[in-house]
Structure 1
Amino acid sequence: MIKAADLYTIATSGVRASNELLATTSNNIANVNSEGYVRERTTFESQLVGGVGRGKTERVINVFAQNQLRRDTTQVGEYETYFQRASVLDNIFASEANSMSSSMSRFFGSLQTATDEPTNMAARQLVLGEANALVGQVSTLSRFMDDKEKELNLELDAMVNYANNLIETIADLNKNIRVAEGNNLFDEPGVLKNKRDSAILELAELMSIETRSNGNQDGSTMVNLKSGESLVLEDGSFNLFQLSGDPDPDYRSLLLSSTGKPTTLRLPEINLGGQMGGLFRYRDEILAESQRELGQISMAMVTAMNQQNRLGMDFDQQLGSNIFSTPEFQGLNYSDNSDLTLTMTGRLSEDGASSLTSADYLIEITGTTAGTPDTVDFTVTLVNPDGTQVRDTDGNVITQAYTGVDAENDTFTSVIGGLELEFPNGDSYAAGDRFLLQPTKRTAQSIEVIMTRPEDIALASPFRVDSAIDNLGDAKLTGSTVTNTTVDASLTDPDRSAFNGNGGFVAGSPASIVFNSATEFEVFDEAGNSLVVVNGVADYNNLMTQAANDAGWPFAALNDYPGYDFSLQGTPVAGDTFSISYNTNGVDDNRNGLELARMQDKDIMSQNNSGGSNKVSFHEAYANIVSDIGAKTASADISLQAAEAMKTQSNDWFQSVSGVNLDEEAANLVRFQQTYAASARILTTAQSLFDTIFSATR
């Protein structure tokens, strides 16, 4: 060992080293309650010439524990945000006071009461009252979720601004750390690094990130999203988040834009993680789905009820009318459309209740042709709220192409999913123009009860079947149905019915059936003209349908004519006659009222968006919403508890290494005081020896 240092130098270096150790320990003790503080440690190396060399102060940190704490912080942030928001919706939908199911039950219950007494005006008025209450309840729920969407967007705006501030802070701290380490090779800039680690931990709470340290070179840390996109780069630049809603400004997409280059990247929100990822998951998995499913139930129910009421006869002995309004909805323009003033409109078709889904509809123009009228070619594709395509049970995209469709005002064309579309701008559209229809998102708020008179509730059936008094067979009427009451005075509409809208039938319509034998019947009009003879009759169910299926049916060009049917039970004999007439003075009739009341239990609605044939009732559809929200909320609660337990463990692990232990620091304080005193004693001894030598030379 080489020792060239004198006793004074050795003592001085010892005092200096002990002083540094005391300062480090004192700083640890002073910052025991400082948020984000990582305890520091000063280390020394002995010098060859003797004494203690210059010390190096650095943070005591376990990178693996730190990374685990960040990951668990991200998990807690995601599940806590998701659970808190989901719980609010779960409480609202599960509450009896806010339940749409309760309102539907009261509405259908009032219909049953009115059906029991068709001439009771008070019972009829109660139906309208409960209809208004139901519409009000649906509108309240829809507006509540609309408000939640607005709150969510405000939260997203705030989180994006906060995340961008953190990213800029991390990048600035990286620069400062580079400068500090370049100016001082011996002391780690602990304060700056603690601030940076705190900012990174806060960013990890917002989203799932990964870090890469450049500590051996300049002390900087690069930050990436877990999906790979860079946030803080090695060269000191950084990328920032922004939100964009195209075409729906209320449905935000997350973008990442470069501060150095004019580039913007769409990010996959589903795997974002953290509080921001929890908000996006809540929006896509619960809020957006529930909004549209509630709208689907509402639109399907009012459409089905309107259709059934139109198939009946009201108290004034007129054909029934709509009970509820059926709102139209405007297509949303995409920002890259050729002309943002172009419009398109959608509405639910009269029989679209069973075909309507909760999906959105993407309409893309593929071509136009000028003419009289102008025509347009387009495709309709079902899409999810996030823009992804809906697929059927076989994995195929649900889409349909249409060509040569009239493009003019007040001309609606039926398309898949129970919708009708209007293209009022003729050939002004351009290939590539896109529109987004959201028929179930907010239209529930626009539904109103437009029927004001209780007399307009069509509880009676508009036709009746009477057996001739001199019939010899035992055939009796067992059931009657009405499927079409479309009135067309011009007699050119292929969808027209036999009803003339004036309390009777169109001339030439089926007015009676006469059996020629037990296996043959003949249909006559009101003038006694034979319309068709049906042979080979095996049963007496749906006699008009059997007539329409016969090759001699004179109304084969019409889609659903005459619009009424009936069935018999028993055995008719030759000459038995059954006359068909408008149900004049049939105000005591409740056949259509029974059909209206039965709508509560009918499987009418499409169960999912995949094009399956499974149907559910209105109550079952609402119960599915409630149970789905409840299941996802319960699952999020369990995941949150597990994530919090993991975070506690990782935090304990991190604090056991990097946290300040007062007992340990107190022991170090005593030890370093002793080394300081001992070094000072050496200095005193050296001084005494020097004085002795100096005195001897006098």
Structure 2
Amino acid sequence: MSGINNIMDIARKGLFASQAAIEVTGQNISNVNTVGYSRRYVRLEESLQLDYRPGQIGMGVEAAEVLRHFDRFIETNYLDKSTMQQRYDTLFGSLKSVDSLLYESEKVGGISSYLSQFFGDWQKLTSETDNYAVRETLLSDTNNLLSVIHQADAQMTRMQEQANQFIQQDVDDVNRILEKIAGINGQLKQVEIPGQNNANALRDDRDRLVRELAGKLDINVITRGNEQDFTITTKAGHTLLQNEQTFSLKFEGPRVTSSLVAGSTFGADGKLYFDGMDDFEYTIDFVSAGTAGSEYSGDPTTAAMFRVSLDGGKTWLKDDNGVELQFPAGDEAHLVEVRGVKIWFGQQGSSTTPPSNGPEVGDDFIVAPKSGVYWYQDTSTSENITPQIYANGEDNNRRITGGSLAGFFNFRDNYIGQYRDKLDALAKELIWSVNSIHSEGAGLKKLSEATGTYQVFDSTVPLANDTSGLFFRDKLQSGNLQFYAYDNTGAMVGTQSLDFTAYSSKIPPDANFDPEDNSLEDVRDAFNDMFASMGLAVPADMQASIVNGSLRIASGNGHTFGFGQDSTGLLAGLGINTYFSGTSARSIEINSAVASNTSLINAGHYNGAGEINEGDNLIASDIAALKDKKLDIHTDFGGTAHQTLSEFYNALVSSVGGDTSSAQFNFSYQNSLAQDLDAQQQSLSGVNLDEEMSNLIKFQHSYTAAAKLISTADQMLQTLLGLKP
């Protein structure tokens, strides 16, 4: 009887095993179109053996557990390729909008065509210097040029703002996905029994979410054993999730972090402050120790000096000649401006109070004058993981390097940031090149008042000093300028150069202007001394003064004046007698004095007798010649290019097209690799209806055979029961 009962038990187990296999096969068939579903199978194992005669007798089959077909190795490789595919897909889609912007603008009349028209108008002015219609046309076409420059900058700015919105959405999605995965991990611990009950549906859900997460940023998935111990980190090693615990990301605004050398006393009460925005992070590295406050007083020999990097310390800012720039550390009264960001040092609780101690050599600060992504280990400990690309094109591997987050940040900062830098460089060179010529010229009438369009922070320090705050301070040179004064009848009172002997610290004193030695107050006083030496009453007849950080020269009692040759660049640097104002693509404008009075457009110049010859076109001719003149145009990432303004802009347009093509190639390449790996995974985990139908027939026959075994055992039992003693 025990043998027949054993047969019955074997048949029962066979029925159950076949039934389970049929059910799993049916589940596979019904989910053939379900995204992320992994094909399941029943793991069968032989039941225990009984020692018996004539030998061990088996006890049938056991349906041990339901498993899914899934290759973690293939999935890991897929995640790596998928995250890069998403990065370049995002970047390519964003760069296409910039490429279209510049391409369409050039088709309908963009910067290049309006730049040519601008110089063409100056050329026309050379033959009709006193024609007011020509002058009005020049102003009109200049406004058209400035309008397309402003529009290009504004549209790229809007693209950056839109990228910020997408970044915020991605950060929110990352935190949402991590919370969902943590919830699934909690459910897995509750329902799974290793080796017996596998929550395959939950695992599929988790893997779908992991794929979605990899589309946002580059990640590592770390599992152990049965995958209940589940950790997700960034490629750089920042833990995003550990089982049921999550670590959040936040998209936050500008901030400063410090890294001081051992023994530095600056951190006791010192703090770096800044004001302004930029598309790049500033790594500030101190190369000499010293004061960082009011003791500095404009003397670079007492100040701690620092250098600035825009790519995490890989390269350092240089001037037009390739010399590394170094800046003095000052308090709020002696701040410096780097790329439009004002930097100064104060105490922890007061930005206006100088710190007790200056920084030491090796003290570093990271200034992030923009919004970025920060990883929070806890509520008070955060780390900047904003994607960053070095000057050589390599990624900062300690930050996010993949997913749509990397794509949006790369677009916002490195690409749009550098395009805007180049557009600013174009505008800056246009301003300086035209102004340096125009400031030495004469219009159709003499001047009665001239106010500089550029300001200084501190009028007591030498103009070339970084703490002066003068934007074009690096353009100033030693030398002098010629000034002409006239009485109320138009007769020349006198012509002189400025005399800086009384304001020179050199031994012997130098009469010429020296930007390393003379401050704006020295310039003001030198002008007033010159007026007095000409017999002009100060301030009744003529006076130089400083108004809101700008130099102002004004005449009275009907007196007028004009400017001649200027070897110092002082007039253009201060914005006096200039055609343009502003410093960038956003701020470039026509000097308000010229815009309101076309007679102040300088086409000619004062001759040696202080006269303006009729038909003189020297200034207009020199400005028109800028169209074909190769200029040194400097950008912080591209160095100094020796090109015409049109060539420089055309190179910018070409670089946008090249970057777009490169992003498209990288997307196609990474997409092909990701699709190939996904196909490999699908060949293993995807449902194949032909295979499932074959399995269904196989398990159906197994079920029938097991049922037949029960029938056979029953017949055997009936035979035994029918035997009579």
1:291–1:442 CA contact under 8 A, matched in 2: no
Distance in 1 between the 2:131 and 2:236 partners? 67
Of 102, 107, 120 in structure 1, the residue corresponding to residue 118 of structure 2 is: 107
Question: What SS is found at the alignment partner of 1:223?
Answer: strand
Matched, 1:642 2:650: no
1:310–1:319 CA contact under 8 A, matched in 2: no
Question: What SS is found at the alignment partner of 1:116?
Answer: coil
Deviations 1:16-70 (A, max 9, x none): 0000000111111111111111111111111124111232111111122111211
Which residue identity does 2:228 align to in structure 1?
A: G
Question: What SS is found at the alignment partner of 2:376?
Answer: strand
Map of 2:563 onto structure 1: none
Of 179, 187, 193 in structure 1, the residue corresponding to residue 203 of structure 2 is: 193
Question: What SS is found at the alignment partner of 1:45?
Answer: strand
Map of 1:224 onto structure 2: 233
1:462–1:583 CA contact under 8 A, matched in 2: yes
1:328 Cα deviation from its structure 2 partner: 7.2
1:670 Cα deviation from its structure 2 partner: 0.8
Of 188, 191, 202 in structure 2, the residue corresponding to residue 180 of structure 1 is: 191
2:443–2:601 CA contact under 8 A, matched in 1: yes
Of 644, 649, 652 in structure 2, the residue corresponding to residue 617 of structure 1 is: 644
Deviations 1:267-325 (A, max 9, x none): 15134211111111222321011122212222331343233222111122559979xx9
Map of 1:443 onto structure 2: 587
1:187 Cα deviation from its structure 2 partner: 2.6
Map of 2:251 onto structure 1: 243
Map of 1:83 onto structure 2: 92
Map of 1:147 onto structure 2: 158
1:433-582 paired onto structure 2 within 5 Å:
440=584, 442-444=586-588, 451-463=595-607, 580-582=608-610
Deviations 1:611-648 (A, max 9, x none): 96654332232123212222211111111111121122
Which residue identity does 1:241 align to in structure 2?
A: L
Of 305, 311, 322 in structure 1, the residue corresponding to residue 440 of structure 2 is: 311
Distance in 2 between the 1:45 and 1:638 partners? 50
Deviations 1:586-614 (A, max 9, x none): 23111111012122233344333379665
1:171–1:238 CA contact under 8 A, matched in 2: yes
Question: What SS is found at the alignment partner of 1:44?
Answer: strand
Map of 1:20 onto structure 2: 20
Map of 1:507 onto structure 2: none
Which residue identity does 1:600 align to in structure 2?
A: K
Distance in 1 between the 2:476 and 2:21 partners? 79
Q: Kindly tell me: are residues 252 and 403 of structure 1, through their superposed partners in 2, closer, same or farther at Cα, counting changes over 3 Å?
A: farther
Matched, 1:349 2:472: yes
Map of 2:619 onto structure 1: 592
Of 188, 199, 219 in structure 2, the residue corresponding to residue 209 of structure 1 is: 219
Matched, 1:59 2:65: no
Distance in 2 between the 1:118 and 1:404 partners? 36
Map of 2:148 onto structure 1: 137
1:214 Cα deviation from its structure 2 partner: 2.1
**Residue identity (%):** 23
Q: Kindly tell me: are residues 612 and 279 of structure 1, through their superposed partners in 2, closer, same or farther at Cα, counting changes over 3 Å?
A: closer
1:255–1:266 CA contact under 8 A, matched in 2: yes
Map of 2:372 onto structure 1: 253
Q: Kindly tell me: are residues 291 and 590 of structure 1, through their superposed partners in 2, closer, same or farther at Cα, counting changes over 3 Å?
A: same
Deviations 1:204-227 (A, max 9, x none): 1111111111233x6232111111
Question: What SS is found at the alignment partner of 2:697?
Answer: helix
Matched, 1:652 2:679: yes
Q: Kindly tell me: are residues 646 and 303 of structure 1, through their superposed partners in 2, closer, same or farther at Cα, counting changes over 3 Å?
A: same
Question: What SS is found at the alignment partner of 2:223?
Answer: strand
Distance in 1 between the 2:101 and 2:625 partners? 28
Map of 1:72 onto structure 2: 81
Q: Kindly tell me: are residues 590 and 299 of structure 1, through their superposed partners in 2, closer, same or farther at Cα, counting changes over 3 Å?
A: same
Q: Kindly tell me: are residues 661 and 172 of structure 1, through their superposed partners in 2, closer, same or farther at Cα, counting changes over 3 Å?
A: same
Of 253, 264, 269 in structure 1, the residue corresponding to residue 382 of structure 2 is: 264
Distance in 2 between the 1:44 and 1:402 partners? 91
2:12–2:710 CA contact under 8 A, matched in 1: yes
1:244 Cα deviation from its structure 2 partner: 2.1
Question: What SS is found at the alignment partner of 2:90?
Answer: helix
Distance in 2 between the 1:267 and 1:450 partners? 48
2:248–2:376 CA contact under 8 A, matched in 1: yes
2:220–2:235 CA contact under 8 A, matched in 1: yes
1:309–1:321 CA contact under 8 A, matched in 2: no
1:25–1:668 CA contact under 8 A, matched in 2: yes
Matched, 1:295 2:424: yes
Distance in 2 between the 1:635 and 1:254 partners? 26
Map of 1:490 onto structure 2: none
Map of 1:164 onto structure 2: 175
1:135–1:447 CA contact under 8 A, matched in 2: no
Q: Kindly tell me: are residues 44 and 647 of structure 1, through their superposed partners in 2, closer, same or farther at Cα, counting changes over 3 Å?
A: same
Q: Kindly tell me: are residues 59 and 412 of structure 1, through their superposed partners in 2, closer, same or farther at Cα, counting changes over 3 Å?
A: farther
Distance in 2 between the 1:655 and 1:7 partners? 41
Of 660, 669, 677 in structure 2, the residue corresponding to residue 633 of structure 1 is: 660
- Gaps of at least 5 residues in structure 2 are 50-57, 256-275, 279-369, 389-394, 396-400, 459-466, 478-515, 522-545, 552-567, 576-581
Q: Kindly tell me: are residues 614 and 637 of structure 1, through their superposed partners in 2, closer, same or farther at Cα, counting changes over 3 Å?
A: closer
Distance in 1 between the 2:163 and 2:169 partners? 10
Question: What SS is found at the alignment partner of 1:232?
Answer: strand
Distance in 1 between the 2:136 and 2:520 partners? 43
Distance in 1 between the 2:518 and 2:130 partners? 50
Distance in 2 between the 1:663 and 1:447 partners? 79
Q: Kindly tell me: are residues 4 and 169 of structure 1, through their superposed partners in 2, closer, same or farther at Cα, counting changes over 3 Å?
A: farther
Q: Kindly tell me: are residues 623 and 320 of structure 1, through their superposed partners in 2, closer, same or farther at Cα, counting changes over 3 Å?
A: farther
1:116 Cα deviation from its structure 2 partner: 1.9
Map of 2:702 onto structure 1: 675
Distance in 2 between the 1:126 and 1:439 partners? 24
Question: What SS is found at the alignment partner of 1:254?
Answer: strand
Which residue identity does 2:421 align to in structure 1?
A: R
For the aligned residue pairs, the C-alpha RMSD in angstroms reads: 3.7
Q: Kindly tell me: are residues 613 and 143 of structure 1, through their superposed partners in 2, closer, same or farther at Cα, counting changes over 3 Å?
A: closer
Which residue identity does 1:633 align to in structure 2?
A: T
1:351 Cα deviation from its structure 2 partner: 7.9
Distance in 2 between the 1:242 and 1:154 partners? 13
1:344-383 paired onto structure 2 within 5 Å:
346=469, 348-349=471-472, 352=475
Matched, 1:277 2:387: no
1:119 Cα deviation from its structure 2 partner: 2.4
Distance in 2 between the 1:152 and 1:185 partners? 47
Distance in 2 between the 1:588 and 1:160 partners? 65
- TM norm structure 2: 0.62
Which residue identity does 2:371 align to in structure 1?
A: R
1:203 Cα deviation from its structure 2 partner: 0.9
Q: Kindly tell me: are residues 628 and 321 of structure 1, through their superposed partners in 2, closer, same or farther at Cα, counting changes over 3 Å?
A: farther
Which residue identity does 1:459 align to in structure 2?
A: A
Question: What SS is found at the alignment partner of 1:316?
Answer: coil
Deviations 1:657-681 (A, max 9, x none): 1111111001001111111111112
Distance in 1 between the 2:448 and 2:95 partners? 46
